[in-house]
Structure 1
Amino acid sequence: MSNFLAGLFDLTGKVALVTGARSGLGQAMALALAQAGADIAGLGSSPMTETARLVERIGRNFAEIRCDLAALDDADEVVCGTTQESGPIDILVNCAGIIRRSPVTEMALGDWDEVLDVNLRSLFMLSQSTARHMIAYQRAGRIINVASLLAFQGGTRVAAYAAAKHGVAGLTRAMANELAPKGITVNAIAPGYMATANTEALREDAQRSAEILARIPMGRWGAPDDLATAVLFLAAPASAYVTGTVVTVDGGWLVR
């Protein structure tokens, strides 16, 4: 039984391109994929020294792909560079994201544009280019997008982020329809309130933190490692018949 279960999630010989792999959710998912046997290409605008060390300690290869997703204009170049560094891409995890908080009546258009560029535009561009690549190399590919609870809700003071994450959920479904005949699955993970840099201000606000925790049935903030099983499930060869889904990992927030 143990060999059977291990085989369900065996990613030996696979290459995963993970955006936002420097820390937080992206780093945790990169490490989970590496533990399952995948080599990792981490994409981001800053050095990923710690992620590289942790992946290599597992015994997998790590390639750092430097790219500012806010200014991405040639995703094909990024994907080709990844292929040269690591080999053909089997798994794409679009995790990189930013958030800008302000009342909707006061949000600067520059903030709106930056959030949409990083969270949605670059995700589409990388997914489009990677899908072309997977088709050309005849890979049974996996594209995994990181959405949010705000793919289902509106939130407050986060209009651009909510719009982008609604877009991620819709784009996931649209791409799933078109890419399924090519053997490529497209799914998303919607994390709940996680203990990351994006929620630092909320966690430091005693009143707001208490309000959030009171609604989470599990009574705690999520940890990046809580996404490990979700990303492994969606990346696994055994999930070939799962596409177009949004898997929530939220401690029960949406059901309360």
Structure 2
Amino acid sequence: MALSVAGRYAIITGGGSGINLAFAKKLLSRGCSVLVGDISLRPEAQDLLKQYPHDPLTPPSANRPVALFKKTDVTSWPQLSALTRAAETAFPQIDIVVPGAGIFEPRWSSFWNPPKSPTNPNSPSRDDADGDPGHYAVLDVNLTHPIRLSQLAIAHWTSRRIPGSLLIVGSMAGYVHGIGSPLYFASKHGVHGFVRSLGRLRDTVGIRTAAIAPGAVNVYSSPIKTRASANRISFL
């Protein structure tokens, strides 16, 4: 059954650009208010907030959806909690959560550019070789963040005994593998396994879980205009 999003309320991480910005635009156009959590907003995202302004004195509705922004580093658990609290303050409830922020194994967090060490002093990596515990940013953003935000969302829905929809942005990389970017492939395989593991939530507590798995994405003149080939893992 199709889910109407009119009059609903959503959190989207990574909505400041790209696929997640396009998704935020689609939800708003269909009457769903959106809180974007991201490090920053591209001009297109700033324009979207102006198009759907938030007036604290006028509650959002299906006829007047609003777009809000909260600066969020998704690798920070306190900031993810603050993002959830901001949505609970701005909206009557949260209906849809999209942990969408992700990165494609940049040189500064790549398996093949290991953290700096005495034998590797010139690595571009910003991952901390002396971290205790250690972290790879690719895994923090692509895997740990959607797991943690999902926990926060599920807590919101189950504590209020309301249904919810969780949509995680996976990747075709979750079905394949390659030596060039092993951390990225590992993160997306993990995301897909995580989503499959939550499939029974629909029948037990009314929480719909799904992932989309985009392939190559072409961005034209605007990050809002995207074209992607995608498969969809769903437990709706």
Give the TM bin, normalised by the shorter chain: 0.7 to 0.9
For residues 23 and 39 of structure 1, what CA distance do their matches in structure 2 show? 17
For residues 4 and 146 of structure 2, what CA distance do their matches in structure 1 show? 26
Alignment equivalent of 2:83, drawn from 57, 78, 96: 78
* Cα deviation 1:53-77 (Å, max 9, x = unaligned): 3255365201112110123346333
Q: TM-score, normalised by structure 1?
A: 0.69
- What's the counterpart of residue 219 of structure 1? none
The 8 Å contact of residues 21 and 48 in structure 1, kept in 2 or not, is answered as no
* Cα deviation 1:60-95 (Å, max 9, x = unaligned): 201112110123346333211211023311001111
More helix by percentage: 1
For residues 196 and 166 of structure 1, what CA distance do their matches in structure 2 show? 24
For residues 71 and 21 of structure 2, what CA distance do their matches in structure 1 show? 15
Alignment equivalent of 2:226, drawn from 219, 224, 227: 224
More strand by percentage: 2
Q: TM-score, normalised by structure 2?
A: 0.74
- C-alpha change, 1:63 and 1:129, in structure 2 (3 Å) is same
Q: CA deviation at 1:137?
A: 2.6
For residues 139 and 224 of structure 1, what CA distance do their matches in structure 2 show? 33
Name the aligned partner's letter for residue 13 of structure 2.
T
Pairing 1:125-140 to 2, within 5 Å after superposition? 125-140=148-163
Alignment equivalent of 2:188, drawn from 165, 187, 197: 165
Identity %: 25
SS in 1 for 2:163: coil
- What's the counterpart of residue 65 of structure 1? 70
- What's the counterpart of residue 210 of structure 1? none
* Cα deviation 1:215-253 (Å, max 9, x = unaligned): xxxxxxxx63558x999xx9xxxxxxx517xxxxxxxxx
Q: CA deviation at 1:99?
A: 1.7
For residues 88 and 230 of structure 1, what CA distance do their matches in structure 2 show? 30
Q: CA RMSD in A?
A: 3.0
Alignment equivalent of 1:100, drawn from 105, 115, 138: 105
- What's the counterpart of residue 91 of structure 1? 96
Pairing 1:195-210 to 2, within 5 Å after superposition? 195-196=218-219
Structure 1 spans left out of the alignment, 5+ residues: 1-6, 198-222, 235-241, 245-256
Structure 2 spans left out of the alignment, 5+ residues: 53-63, 116-124, 129-134
Matched, 1:113 2:136: yes
Between 1 and 2, higher relative CO (CA 8 Å, sep ≥ 6) is seen in 1
Matched, 1:243 2:232: no
For residues 181 and 113 of structure 1, what CA distance do their matches in structure 2 show? 34
